[in-house]
Amino acid sequence: MLPRLTLAVCAATLLLGGCAEEIPPPDADQPPPAAVETVVAGGVPEPAVLALPYVPADAARLEVTDFARVAVQLGVEDPTSQDPAADRAAFERRTTAETAALTDGTLLPVDEQLVQRFGFGQADVTWEAHVFDEDGTETGFVLGIDRVVDPEALARAVEAGVGPLAGASVVAEDSVIVQGLDASGGSYADDPAVVALVGAPSISTYLTRGCLDPDGADVSGLDDLQVWAMSFQGGLATATLGPDRADLFDRLEVAEASTSFARSFTDGVADPSTGRIGFRLSDPPAAADLVASGDVPVAYCD
Three-class DSSP category at 163: helix
CA distance 258 to 275: 20
pLDDT at 34 over 70: no
Quote the CA–CA distance of 119 and 150 in Å, as a whole number. 9
Give the 3-state secondary structure of residue 44: coil
Which of 36, 37, 102 shows the shortest CA–CA distance to 69? Answer: 102
14 vs 142, higher pLDDT = 142
Bridge-based pairing of strands 125-132 and 61-66 is antiparallel
* Overall average pLDDT of the 159-164 stretch: 97
Cα dihedral 297→100→177→172 (10° resolution):
120
Longest distance between any two alpha carbons in the chain, whole Å: 64
Indicate the domain borders of the chain.
Answer: 2-13+199-299, 65-179
Residue 10 pLDDT more than 60?
Answer: no
Neighbouring residues of 116: CB distance < 8 A, sequence distance ≥ 6:
none
Q: Is the pLDDT of residue 208 over 70?
A: yes
Q: What is the mean pLDDT of residues 121-147?
A: 97
- Predicted local confidence at residue 43, as pLDDT: 65
User: What pLDDT shows up at residue 215?
Assistant: 81
What average pLDDT does the segment 12-21 reach?
A: 41
Q: What is the pLDDT of residue 220?
A: 87
Dihedrals phi, psi of 218, to nearest 5 degrees: -75, 110
Percent of the chain having pLDDT more than 90?
81
Q: 97-117: buried (b, 16+ CB within 10 Å) or exposed (e) per residue? A: eebbbbbebbbbebbeebbee
- In this predicted structure, the answer to whether residue 31 has a pLDDT above a threshold of 70 is no
In tens, the pLDDT along 263-292 reads 999 999 999 999 999 999 999 999 999 999
What pLDDT is stored for residue 217 in this prediction? 86
